[in-house]
Amino acid sequence: GEQVEQLPSSLIVQEGASVLINCSYTDSASVYFPWYKQEPGKRLQFIIDIRSNMERKQNQRLTLLFDKKTKHLSLHITATQPGDSAIYFCSAFDRGSALGRLHFGAGTQLIVIP
Amino acid sequence: DMKVTQMPRYLIKRMGENVLLECGQDMSHETMYWYRQDPGLGLQLIYISYDVDSNSEGDIPKGYRVSRKKREHFSLILDSAKTNQTSVYFCASSSRDRGRDTQYFGPGTRLLVL
């Protein structure tokens, strides 16, 4: 089945820095890749997504890059703020089964120091 | 306002006791999910429900069962809880919309089994 891996597992940066979170998947049948953010003690919240027919998507300070050939995604966050401190999850939508499901990576914990 | 709710938010049980976790959503989503989240493991899928009385096992169904008698409600039941079921449990719901599968998450239930 689909396997989603994220690197790094944790990041500590100074406020204002840019960060890059990498994600790879294994199943070429995956077609849709939503990302979620989980602030400490809170629920997961959708932040950005990309479909397999796109290479790049931007939402304010977030840029998501997708390489179908290498089965790799990267989330770039610019001008980080303390409010960006959270766990970030990459996921892949598996259309292999009749109705599909999301497979999640283990998460990247980002800490932004003021 | 789209919402997924979970009850209770915190629960302490003794090993061998039965546990009932409840989830509700007000978006008429067909699909609902139960996950557990453990440090370093990300989100692990326990069960998916595609609609009323249409449930499928996820990756770690052992020790759990579910019930969905109304589209808005999805219950997770632990018969005779074990200490290794101590975790944070998240419910989510989604609607297949133009190939997207954005999931909306509840706030989580922290379960401690002693």
- For residues B2 and B103, is the Cβ–Cβ distance under 8 A? no
Question: Left (φ > 0), alpha (ψ -120 to 50) or beta: where does B53 sit?
Answer: left
Q: How confident is the model over A12-32, as pLDDT tens digits?
A: 999 999 999 999 999 888 889
Mutate which of A44, A52, A91 to disrupt the B interface (most B C-beta within 10 Å)? A44
Report d(CA A65, CA A58) in Å as an integer.
Answer: 9
Q: How confident is the model over B17-71, as pLDDT tens digits?
A: 999 999 999 988 999 999 999 987 889 999 999 999 999 999 899 999 999 999 9
Q: How many CB atoms lie within 10 A of CB B14?
A: 10
Contacts for B96 with CB less than 8 Å, ≥ 6 apart: A99, A100, B30, B31
Name which of B101, B108, B89 is nearest A43 in CA terms: B108
Choose among A34, A100, A107: nearest Cβ to B102. A34
